[in-house]
Amino acid sequence: MTTERRSLPSVGVVLERPAMRALIERSPRTLVTDAVRAIIADARADGHGGATLPVDDDGWVREVEQRIAHRIAPSLRATINATGVVLHTNLGRAPLAALALEAIAEVSRGASTLEYDLARGARGSRHVHCAALLTELTGAEDALVVNNCAAALVLALQAFAAGRETLVSRGELVEIGGSFRVPEIMSTSGTTLVEVGTTNRTHVDDYRRALGPRTGAIVKVHRSNFAQEGFVAEASVRDLATVAADAGVPLIHDFGSGLMVDLSPWGLTGEPTARDAAAEGATLVLMSGDKLLGGPQAGIILGRAAAVARLRQHPLARALRVDKLTLAALEATLGLYRDTAIAVQAIPALAMLTATPARVRARADAVVATLARYGQRAHVAASEATVGGGAFPTARLPSWCVVLEGDAVTLEARLRAGAVPVIGRIADGRLLLDLRSVLEAEDATLATLVRAALG
Ligand SMILES: *Cc1c(COP(=O)(O)O)cnc(C)c1O
C-alpha cells in the first residue's frame, strides 16, 4: 500500500462530518453511505490518492448530493423526439392519445373489471375487453391481444406448427428491428422453417411444391421496413389462402404495422389497412399496437373464430397476456377509430403523419421566433421526415426543421443532457430539430430547452 492510499479517509470518518450527519437527516442513509463509498473508491481507482477528494464539508455535500441525484433519477424518462422519425422504436414508438392516458389512469387508480363480468357478478375474462371493438373495426371474426407482434407470432406458431414445418418465402426471412428476426422466431416457436422460392421471386407453385405431410402452417410476412424493386414477384395473401385451405393448414399473416385507416389522402399510399388484411383470407392476421395504430405496445391477433379460440386456450397465451394498462389504452385508442376524422386528429402518431407541411413550418417559425427574442440564433429549413416503426419504408414526408447554429456535436450532447432530453439529428454538420415528430403541445417546452442548451 502506498502512502497516498493510506491517506484516503474511511467511509465511517466521512459520515461523522457534521455536514454529512445533516445530509443523512434529509436523505436515505444508504444512499449517502453508498455515495461516500463510491467517491472514496473512485479516488482510490484514479491512482492519485486523495488528491481528487472533496476538501471541505461543502465539497462533500455537493459531491454526495450530485451522486444521489444521479442515482435516484428515473431510468425511463420522457424525451422530445425531434429526429423526424415519427414512430421511433428507440424512443418508445407511438405517443398515446389523451383519451388513452386518461383510460390508463382511470382503470389503474383502483380496482377494475379486468377479469370480472359485471353483468353476471362473476369471474370474467380479460380477453373480452378489446375483442368486440377489433372485430367491429376490422371485420375479423374474432380477436385476441397479447404482449406484442413478436409474441403473437410465437403464440400462433406454437399453437399450430410446433413440431411441424412452417413454409416462408426466402424473400420474407427478414429482420424487423428490435431483434425480431423471422428465422429466429420460428426456431423459438419449435417449428421447422422451410424456405420457399428465392430472395427476389416466390410463386404460389413454390409453396404448393413445399407442402407435405409435416406442414403445420404457411407464414406470410409483410416486408414492413424495406422495399424490393426490379425483377420481383411474391404470392399474394389471397392466393396463399387458397393454397393453405386446400392443404388444410392455417395461413398466418404477419402484417405488422396495424394501419387502421387509409392514409392515401395524406400521400401515404401502398400499405393495406387491417380491414383489408383481415378480408384477404388469412386464418390469422398479426399486428403491433404501437406502430401505425398509434396505441400501446401490444400484439393484436385477428382471425377466424376457431383459430383465435385455439390461441386463447393455449397455455402460452397466459404467459403472453397483457396488463390492464395496455387494455385500457388500447380500448380507448381503438374507440377513436369509430370516426376517422377524429382518429387522425386525436391519435398523435396519425396527427403527426397527416399534419400539413405549412402547419409544421409555422411551428418551426414560432420556435425560431421565440429563440430570437432571447438573442439566440437559429433558422428554419425544409427537411424530410419518415414514418418509422417498420411502415411505409420508402415514404418521405415533407417537413420543416429548426436548424441550430453552433457546433452540432456539442449542441446535440447538451440537448440530450437537458431537463427533458431533446433528441435531434445531425446532417451535414448541423443539428436539426424536425418538428414533424414533435407533439404540438411540446413546442413551447422545446423552445425553453433549446434556450437552456444554447445559453
Ligand atoms: C414491427 C413488426 C413486428 C414486430 O412487432 P413488435 O410489436 O415490435 O413485436 C413483426 N412483424 C412485422 C411485419 C412488423 O412490422
- Please give the DSSP secondary-structure letter assigned to residue 201: B
Tell me the per-residue pLDDT of 394-446, one tens digit each, with 9 for 90 and over.
999 999 999 999 999 999 999 999 999 999 999 999 999 999 999 999 999 99
Residues 6+ apart with CB under 8 A from 200: 171, 228, 230, 231, 232, 233
Tell which atom from ligand 1 comes closest to the C-alpha of 89.
8
Q: Give the ligand 1 atom nearest the CA of 148.
A: 7
Q: Which H helix or E strand runs over 432?
A: strand 430-434
Q: With a cut of 70, say whether residue 4 has pLDDT above it.
A: no
Residue 210 CB neighbours (<10 A):
18
**The pairing of beta strand 422-423 with beta strand 397-404:** unpaired
Query: pLDDT band at residue 6, thresholds of 50, 70 and 90?
Result: low
Q: Which atom of ligand 1 is nearest to the CA of 177?
A: 1
Q: Give the whole-angstrom CA distance, residue 437 versus residue 400.
A: 10
Judge whether residue 168 has pLDDT over 70: yes
Q: Does any ligand 1 atom lie closer than 6 A to the CB of residue 392?
A: no
Say if ligand 1 is within 6 A of residue 256 CB.
yes
Read off the pLDDT of each residue in 267-278 and give the average, rounded to a whole number: 95
For the Cβ of 326 lying below 6 angstroms from any atom of ligand 1, the answer is no
Asked whether residue 388 carries a pLDDT value surpassing 50, the answer given is: yes
Q: Which three cell numbers stand for residue 49?
A: 490518492
Is 2 a residue whose pLDDT tops 50? no
- Compute the chain's Rg from CA coordinates: 27
Ligand 1 centroid to Cα of residue 65, in Å, is 43
Provide the pairing of β-strand 165-169 with 215-221.
parallel
* Band of pLDDT at residue 274, cut at 50, 70 and 90: very high
Residues 347-362, mean pLDDT to the nearest whole number: 98
Mean pLDDT calculated for residue range 150-154: 96
- Closest Cα to atom 6 of ligand 1: 149
DSSP, res 398 = E
CA-wise closest residue to 81 among 65, 93, 67: 93
- Does 7 have pLDDT greater than 80? no
Segment 376-393 mean pLDDT = 93
**Ligand 1 in contact with 221 (CB < 6 A)?**
yes
Question: How many whole angstroms separate alpha carbon 218 and alpha carbon 299?
Answer: 19
Is residue 148 lining ligand 1, measured as CB closer than 6 Å?
Answer: yes
Q: Does any ligand 1 atom lie closer than 6 A to the CB of residue 150?
A: yes
Q: Which pLDDT score is estimated for 227? A: 86
Q: Is 224 in the pocket of ligand 1 (CB under 6 A)?
A: yes
Q: Is 288 in the pocket of ligand 1 (CB under 6 A)?
A: yes
Predicted local distance difference test score (pLDDT) of residue 178: 66
3: confidence class by pLDDT, cuts 50, 70, 90: very low
Confidence of residue 47 (pLDDT cuts 50, 70, 90): confident
Best residue among 93, 176, 185, 220 to mutate for probing ligand 1, ranked by most atoms within 8 Å of CB: 176
394 CA → ligand 1 middle, Å:
17
Mean pLDDT within 61-84: 94
Give the β-pairing of 142-146 and 299-303: antiparallel
- Give the per-residue pLDDT at 391: 85
DSSP code for 106: H
Tell the residue nearest (CA) to atom 15 of ligand 1. Answer: 256
Mean pLDDT of the chain: 94
Q: What is the pLDDT of residue 62?
A: 93
Residue with cell 442515482: 71
Measured from the CB, is residue 147 less than 6 Å from ligand 1? no
**Ligand 1 pocket check for 149: Cβ under 6 Å:** yes
Domains and CATH numbers, the chain: 3-72 (no CATH), 80-88+350-454 (3.90.1150.180), 97-342 (3.40.640.10)
Over residues 285-304, mean pLDDT:
98
Quick: pLDDT tens for 192-228. 999 999 999 999 999 999 999 999 999 999 987 788 8
pLDDT above 50 for 1: no
Give the residue, 3 or 341, on which the prediction is more confident.
Answer: 341
Q: Which residues pair with 284 in a beta bridge?
A: 252, 303
In DSSP terms, which residues pair with 290 in a beta bridge? none
Q: What is the DSSP-derived secondary structure letter of residue 86?
A: E
pLDDT at 84: 98
